[in-house]
């Protein structure tokens, strides 16, 4: 069952583990609007990771962007009026939000099973952002990774990723934009679970 899977990154000297998130959830992390990343698998890794804003942005994800409180938060950070039609709102989001780029680094401080309801609620009460439960899938047999020390990049770095964990050369984070690896997109979008790059179980 997915709740008992543990997937850890391969730690390589000179490289940083990275995960990809669809937008707007990657930006929510950089804006300090999301401090827990929910996945269908646990990690024992504790340390810094890079956050990649994936290129994928399909109809289902756009629908999520138009829902509250997602729309409210996006409009506040991207200077968009909430009263505009959906099509105009989505055009502005596409123009102003980063896709296919590393947008931040963060430190994984904890990994909490959603089945441990009391501990999870205490952690979110202590560390969570205002809409934390709205910006993740906290259903049973899942895990909430608590992120700390988020550092948004002043200039996002174009990069392509792959499913699950992958590594980013530290030279890329220092500004070497010539390095890229092949993108492997999820076979089926899953905006309801936000388990963006989980393997099938």
**What pTM does this model have?**
0.86
What local confidence, expressed as pLDDT, does residue 190 receive? 34
**What is the domain partition of the chain in residue ranges?**
2-173
Question: How many other CB atoms are found less than 10 A from the CB of residue 90?
Answer: 18
CATH number of 2-173: 2.30.130.30
pLDDT in tens, the chain (201 residues): 444 689 999 999 999 999 999 999 999 999 999 999 999 999 999 999 999 999 999 999 999 999 999 999 999 999 999 999 999 999 999 999 999 999 999 999 999 999 999 999 999 999 999 999 999 999 999 999 999 999 999 999 999 888 889 999 998 888 765 554 433 333 333 333 334 333 322
Please state, in angstroms and rounded to a whole number, the distance separating the CA atoms of residues 94 and 104. 19
What local confidence, expressed as pLDDT, does residue 66 receive? 97
Please state, in angstroms and rounded to a whole number, the distance separating the CA atoms of residues 26 and 77. 13
What local confidence, expressed as pLDDT, does residue 158 receive? 93
Please state, in angstroms and rounded to a whole number, the distance separating the CA atoms of residues 81 and 13. 45
What pairing do the DSSP bridges indicate for beta strands 47-53 and 101-113? antiparallel
């Amino acid at each position: 069952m997915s709740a008992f899977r543990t997937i850890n990154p391969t730690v390589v000297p000179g490289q940083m583990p990275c995960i990809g998130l669809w937008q707007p959830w990657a930006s929510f992390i950089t804006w300090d609007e999301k401090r827990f990343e929910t996945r269908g698998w646990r990690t024992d890794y504790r340390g810094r990771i890079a956050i990649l804003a994936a290129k994928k942005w399909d109809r289902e994800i756009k629908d999520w962007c138009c829902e509250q409180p997602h729309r409210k938060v996006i409009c506040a950070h991207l200077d968009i009026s909430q009263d505009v039609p959906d099509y105009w709102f989505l055009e502005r989001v596409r123009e102003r939000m980063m896709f296919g780029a590393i947008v931040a680094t963060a430190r994984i401080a904890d990994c909490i099973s959603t089945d441990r309801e009391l501990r999870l609620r205490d952690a979110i009460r202590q560390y969570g952002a205002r809409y934390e439960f709205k910006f993740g899938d906290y259903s049973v047999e899942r895990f909430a990774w608590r992120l700390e020390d988020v550092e948004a990049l002043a200039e996002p770095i174009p990069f392509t990723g792959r499913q699950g964990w992958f590594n980013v050369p530290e030279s890329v984070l220092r500004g070497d934009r010539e390095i890229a690896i092949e993108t492997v997109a999820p076979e089926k979008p899953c905006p309801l679970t936000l388990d963006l790059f989980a393997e099938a179980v």
